[in-house]
Amino acid sequence: MRQGGKKVISRPQRYRILLGFIAGLSLSLAVLAAGYLYYRNNTYRLTEQEKLQIRQLALEEYRQNNPTSLVYKITTDKKSGDILQDKDIAPAEISESLKPADAVTDPSLAVGKVIRCDILSNTVITESLLYGKQDYPHDMRLMEYSVLNLPQKLQKNEFIDIRIMFPNGLDYIVLSKKQVTDLERSENAQRNIIWFHAGEEEILRMASAIVDASIVEGTILYAVPYIAPDIQDQAAITYPVNLDVQKLILENPNIINKAVTELETRNRRLFEERINEDHQYSGRNKVFNDNNVQILHDIPESKTFESGTETSVEDNL
């Protein structure tokens, strides 16, 4: 329609144009929104992948700088004497620097073993916490001996052979590869005490050797340490137990105590002889006389003693 030479748009056509513009604008906005959402989602996914990759790289670097080892731990609290079963242990990782030297790395070495003491859950299993039933038979006891000649450098936890040497030079192994549980040395090595585990048969064997040593003058019972017990095999026992001594022990158990007393007396006599020899060699008088009585001499007048006061050997040396 024209009015005065101008083209006039009718109202219905105007509405159609407006609606077309709005529809086109809406479609453009929808396309832009879809594109934005697509871009955002892909960017988020890429960011998550990058984060995951960074975490993996950081974890690998940490593991390289801080190596770990596989160990096994206790899953529940355990009491002393309990026997470990498969369900009681679980694998775990621990820093190599914190791993115990005797940590169990093979579950077969732990299952069936007995626990030495009460332990809590998540405790790393170590060999020192366990022992086998066969390692501690019912007749095993902690024995104490004071009649052995011990090496000066012998230390606690070392392994030794106990030998007996007769005056004619015959030398036998009484017990082999016994671990020293504890050790006590008196001043001047006058009396040494040693403790180790022994079974019934070993106790009787030692008793026989002690009685033999007390009967045969000049016989010596002594200990010889191992140099590398981890790789050295246990020595074969060569001492023939005296059947007569065994019979004597059975008839009179006090014979062992008498034999121990005899050997301690003999060791004391050797100690006194050694002290006297050292004094005489240096030009001094003897400390002990032949009757094992201490000799008091060269006491300055300024030192006075009351009647009945005891004087030790060290005071006169």
Using alpha carbons, select from 154, 306, 138, 126 the residue that is nearest to residue 222.
Answer: 154
* pLDDT, averaged across the chain: 77
Percentage of the residues of the chain whose pLDDT score is greater than 90: 21
Q: In angstroms, what CA-CA distances link 197 with 130, 131, 234, 240?
A: 17, 15, 16, 21
Mean pLDDT, range 47-57, rounded to an integer: 76
**Cβ proximity of 92 and 71 under 8 Å:** yes
Work out the burial of residue 62: count CB atoms within 10 Å of its CB; fewer than 13 is exposed, 13-18 middle, 19 or more buried: exposed
Q: Counting runs of H as helices and runs of E as strands, what totals does the chain give?
A: 5, 12
User: What long-range pairs does 130-134 form, CB within 8 A, spacing at least 24?
Assistant: 130/84, 130/104
- Least confident range of 36-45, 130-139, 213-222: 36-45
Q: In angstroms, what CA-CA distances link 143 with 124, 134, 185?
A: 32, 19, 16
Q: How far apart are CA 133 and CA 84, in angstroms?
A: 12
Tell whether the model's pLDDT for residue 274 goes beyond 50.
yes
Q: How far apart are CA 143 and CA 180, in angstroms?
A: 10
Using alpha carbons, select from 192, 163, 170, 175 the residue that is nearest to residue 267.
Answer: 192
Q: How far apart are CA 279 and CA 117, in angstroms?
A: 53
| Residue spans per domain, the chain | 11-64, 68-135, 141-264
- Least confident range of 60-74, 112-126, 219-233: 60-74
Mean pLDDT, range 70-98, rounded to an integer: 88
Tell whether the model's pLDDT for residue 9 goes beyond 60.
no
Q: In angstroms, what CA-CA distances link 127 with 107, 116, 273, 291?
A: 11, 10, 48, 54
Q: How far apart are CA 302 and CA 174, in angstroms?
A: 53
DSSP string across 103-116: B---GGGTTTPEES
259 membership: H or E segment, kind and range: helix 254-281
Supply the pTM of this predicted model: 0.50
Tell me what pLDDT residue 244 has: 72
**Cβ proximity of 305 and 311 under 8 Å:** yes
Looking at residue 254, its amino acid is N
Using alpha carbons, select from 96, 97, 93 the residue that is nearest to residue 124.
Answer: 93
Residue 11, SS3 per DSSP: helix
Structure confidence by residue, pLDDT tens digits, 167-188: 888 899 999 999 999 998 876 6
Compute how many other C-beta atoms are within 10 angstroms of the C-beta atom of residue 176.
20
Compute how many other C-beta atoms are within 10 angstroms of the C-beta atom of residue 206.
23
Tell me what pLDDT residue 44 has: 62
98 membership: H or E segment, kind and range: none
Fold of 68-135: Type Iii Antifreeze Protein Isoform Hplc 12 (3.90.1210)
3-class secondary structure per residue, 35-83? HHHHHHHHHHHHHHHHHHHHHHHHHHHHHHHCCEEEEEEECCCECCCCE
Tell whether the model's pLDDT for residue 2 goes beyond 70.
no
Mean pLDDT, range 224-240, rounded to an integer: 91
Q: Report which DSSP code applies to 229.
A: T
When pLDDT is cut at 50, 70 and 90, the band that residue 165 belongs to is very high
Tell whether the model's pLDDT for residue 110 goes beyond 80.
yes
Higher per-residue confidence, 82 vs 248: 82
Using alpha carbons, select from 140, 100, 132, 102 the residue that is nearest to residue 115.
Answer: 132
